[in-house]
């Protein structure tokens, strides 16, 4: 009896896992890229399963630290930028694609500097404002050339 129950549980697990693959059209994919000069973060995304909505909105949030070093002195500036994109219309298959950009604070807190700069984005989230789903994206960082 015990082997039968374990076998049934394993079968149920396989069936359940198999059914989750049927949700593949709802898959969410994204790419992140930090661009210099400036250290802006661009996030392009593609989300399925939005067919039930006439339009979808998104908000990108993050914590960012910009560190600039010149002649042996470094200054770090932190900020929490946010960007919103509204009124995206799902295609016939229910997919929505878009991109958002976050702009960090100026290096050194304001002035233009010809110096070494690094940018680190943490706690990056993309929120589907229509469904309320929050995607936690990877932290990313880069140094200027």
For every residue of 28-58, DSSP letters joined together read EEEEEEEETTTTEEEEEEEE---TT-S-EEE
Q: What is the DSSP letter of 25?
A: G
Q: Is 53 among the domain residues?
A: yes
**For range 3-11, the mean pLDDT:** 34
What CATH number did the domain enclosing 108 receive?
A: 2.60.40
Burial 44-74 (b: 16+ CB within 10 A, else e): ebebbbbeebeebbbbbbbebbbbbbeeeee
**Calpha distance 107→65 (Å, rounded):** 10
Residue 40 inside a domain? The answer is yes
**Which residue has better confidence, 132 or 115?**
132
Beta strands in the chain (DSSP E): 28-35, 40-47, 56-70, 73-79, 82-88, 96-102, 116-128, 134-136, 140-143
Look at the alpha carbons of 66, 42, 28, 57 in this order and tell me if their dihedral is positive or negative.
positive
* pTM to 2 decimal places: 0.77
The whole-chain average pLDDT of the chain stands at 81
Residue 54 counted as domain residue: yes
Hey, what are 74's tokens? Answer: 């470094």
Q: Is residue 103 part of a domain?
A: yes
Q: What band does 145 get if pLDDT is binned at 50, 70 and 90?
A: low
Whether residue 118 lies inside any domain: the answer is yes
Average pLDDT over residues 100-117: 73
pLDDT at 118 over 80: yes
Give domain status of residue 19, yes or no: no
Span 48-96, pLDDT tens digits:
999 999 999 999 999 999 998 887 788 899 999 999 999 999 999 999 9
Does residue 15 form part of some domain?
Answer: no
Range of the domain at 135: 24-143
- pLDDT for the residue 19: 26
Asked whether residue 16 is domain-assigned, the answer is no
The model's pLDDT over 12-54, given as tens digits with 9 standing for 90+, comes to 323 222 222 233 455 999 999 999 888 999 999 999 999 999 9
Per-residue pLDDT at 11: 32
Q: Would you state the pLDDT for residue 110?
A: 53
Domain count, the chain: 1
């Amino acid at each position: 009896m015990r082997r039968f129950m374990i076998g049934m549980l394993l079968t149920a697990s396989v069936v359940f896992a198999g059914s989750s693959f049927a949700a593949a059209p709802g898959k969410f994919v994204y790419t992140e890229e930090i661009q210099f000069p400036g250290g802006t973060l661009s996030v392009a995304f593609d989300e399925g399963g939005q067919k039930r909505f006439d339009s979808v909105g998104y908000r990108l949030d993050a914590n960012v630290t910009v560190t600039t070093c010149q002649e042996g002195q470094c200054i770090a500036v932190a900020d929490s930028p946010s960007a919103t994109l509204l009124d995206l219309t799902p295609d016939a298959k229910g997919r929505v694609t878009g991109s958002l950009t976050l702009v960090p604070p100026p290096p050194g807190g304001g002035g233009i500097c010809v110096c070494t700069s690094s940018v680190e984005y943490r706690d990056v989230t993309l929120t589907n404002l229509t469904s309320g789903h929050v995607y936690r994206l990877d932290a990313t960082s880069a140094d200027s050339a």
